[in-house]
Amino acid sequence: MEYNEKSIQSKYMLVPRTLVFIRDEDKYLFIHKKKKDSFGFEKLNGIGGHIEKGEEPYESARREIFEETRLVVENLSLVAIVIIDIGIIPGILMFVFSAKYSKGSPISSEEGDLLWIHKDEIPGMQNIVKDVPFLIDVIEKNCNGQNPKFIKYLYDENEELRIVI
């Protein structure tokens, strides 16, 4: 199949990423990003990153968890698949997972410092990636075994996030 500029502009081209929210009772593990070139620099976010060539999303999520926390998590649950239209090609395809913390001590990495935050504190936080409270809500409403939500993020002319479910 031959692609031209017009056909490429009308199709989604997406960079795949994973994002994992690890839960221990009523707390979630967050990373305070300290790498200047990473998304969410100086903000709190879940654990995650790019899917490497040859990986599928679950492999990527486990690798990112280990790289950023040194934890091994067995029970990952895919809760959402998000298409992020950032207005340029490529966009982002994000696989959002939840995981239950089982054992071990999380260890901070060069990616950032780790901290546990109670779920009730998350909605009012200022130093957090903008969509995290929404994603935590999706996780809280998800029942194990339920199909993942399909979500689309768009940005308006004022660069404000608009979420479509």
- Mean pLDDT, to the nearest integer, of 58-81? 93
pLDDT the model gives residue 2:
59
Closest by alpha carbon to 110, among 82, 70, 139, 145? 70
pLDDT above 60: residue 149 = yes
Confidence grade of residue 138 (pLDDT, cut at 50, 70, 90): very high
Report pLDDT digits (tens) over 2-25. Answer: 556 665 666 778 999 999 999 999
| pLDDT (mean) for 125-133 | 93
Q: Tell me, which fold does domain 13-164 have in CATH?
A: Nucleoside Triphosphate Pyrophosphohydrolase (3.90.79)
Percent of the chain with pLDDT strictly greater than 70: 89
Q: What single string gives the DSSP state of each residue in the chain?
A: ----HHHHHTS--EEEEEEEEEEETTEEEEEEE--TTSTTTTSEE-EEEEPPTT--HHHHHHHHHHHHH------EEEEEEEEE--SSSSEEEEEEEEEE--SS----BTTEEEEEEEGGGGGG-SSB-TTHHHHHHHHHHPPTTPPPEEEEEEE-TT--EEEE-
Phi-psi region of 145 (alpha: psi -120 to 50; beta: other; left: phi over 0): left
Give CA–CA dist 62/48, Å, rounded. Answer: 9
Q: So what's the pLDDT on residue 36?
A: 67
Quote the tokens at residue 42: 């100086």
What pLDDT score was predicted for residue 99? 95
Q: Which of 5-14, 64-73, 77-86, 118-127 has the lowest mean pLDDT?
A: 5-14
In this structure, of 25-29, 44-48, 114-118, 140-144, the range with the lowest mean pLDDT score is 140-144
Note the pLDDT tens digit of each residue in 102-118: 888 999 998 899 999 99
Return the amino acid letter for 93.
L
Q: What is the pLDDT of residue 93?
A: 96
- Whether 1 has a pLDDT exceeding 60, the answer reads no
Percentage of the chain modeled with pLDDT above 90: 63
The answer to whether 122 and 132 have CB atoms below 8 angstroms apart is yes
Whole-number pLDDT of residue 42: 86
Q: What is the pTM of this model?
A: 0.89
